Structure 1
Amino acid sequence: MDFMERLCDKINDMPQLPVACKLGYLGVAESLVIYPLPGSKVVQEFMDGTSDQQLNYEIAMKSKSQSKINDVLWMIQNELEKLKALESQDDSFKFDELIITNKPFINQIDEQGWFVFLLDVQANITVF
């Protein structure tokens, strides 16, 4: 299923995005990533093997500029709140909705001055 890849593509399609979003976890330098969170579940399963699922994801950004992270994650959050369609490239899912479960928030700062902010979303999709 290519849902996470398509969501990452949607984020990267944003014209003012100063750093590319990637799948996986934060790197050692400035980075913007998306990864799955625990708690995803099958809501309903059908006889043909199709299922309605709730999938939890986190978008994280690391930078030494707190204001840059804040601006980027709020821009992504505003864009994702308006998301009405997301197409699978391999016909593995049908998009229903995306819910912002946590607005952007600070998660940590380390001794080298790196900030990490997070944005949590939940996707409701049908998986074929």
Structure 2
Amino acid sequence: MDLIEKLADKINTLPNLPQTMIIGQLSNANDFGFYSQPGSQVISQDWSGIQERSLPFEVALRTDDFELGNNTLWRISELLDGVTRLETDGTYTFNKINIEPQPFLTMIDVSEKGVFLLDFSVEITQQIDLGE
């Protein structure tokens, strides 16, 4: 499933991002990341193995420019909120994105950089193997 790559590509099309967002957690070498969160859940499943699932994700940006951090994550939130279609690799069908809550400043680290977060979930439909 290529969902995280497709979403990262979509986000990186926004003009004037502070840097290219990578897939991965924040680190010493990276201040702008996108990663999946634990806690995916099955919304529904039918007898043929078609599942609707909700997959949680998070975008994180660490910066000492609080206005830039806030504005960048709001722009990403608005972009994702408007996504109604996503090209996929065929292993799943994109349904929708749920953004909850809106972007927020979570902490200020010892170097006085703020970490801004945007949490959202993506609903997909996929066929699973029932192991028959």
- TM-score when scaled to structure 1? 0.91
Name segments (4+ residues, structure 1) moved above 4 Å. Answer: none
Distance in 1 between residues matched to 2:79 and 2:115, nearest whole Å: 20
> Identity over the aligned pairs, expressed in percent?
35
Give the structure with higher Rg (CA). 2
Counterpart of 2:121 in structure 1: which amino acid? Q
Q: How many residues align?
A: 127
User: Partner residue of 2:57?
Assistant: 57
Quick one: structure 1 residues 44 and 52, their matched pair in 2 at CA, closer, same or farther if it must change by over 3 Å? same
| Gaps in structure 2 of 5+ consecutive residues | 128-132
Shift of 1:50: 3.0
Shift of 1:123: 0.8
Distance in 1 between residues matched to 2:13 and 2:92, nearest whole Å: 20
Write the mapping of 1:1-128 to structure 2, written as runs, cut at 5 A: 1-29=1-29, 31-88=31-88, 90-128=89-127
RMSD: 1.4
Structure that is richer in strand per residue: 1
Distance in 2 between residues matched to 1:46 and 1:115, nearest whole Å: 44
Shift of 1:71: 1.1
- TM-score when scaled to structure 2? 0.88
Distance in 2 between residues matched to 1:74 and 1:8, nearest whole Å: 16
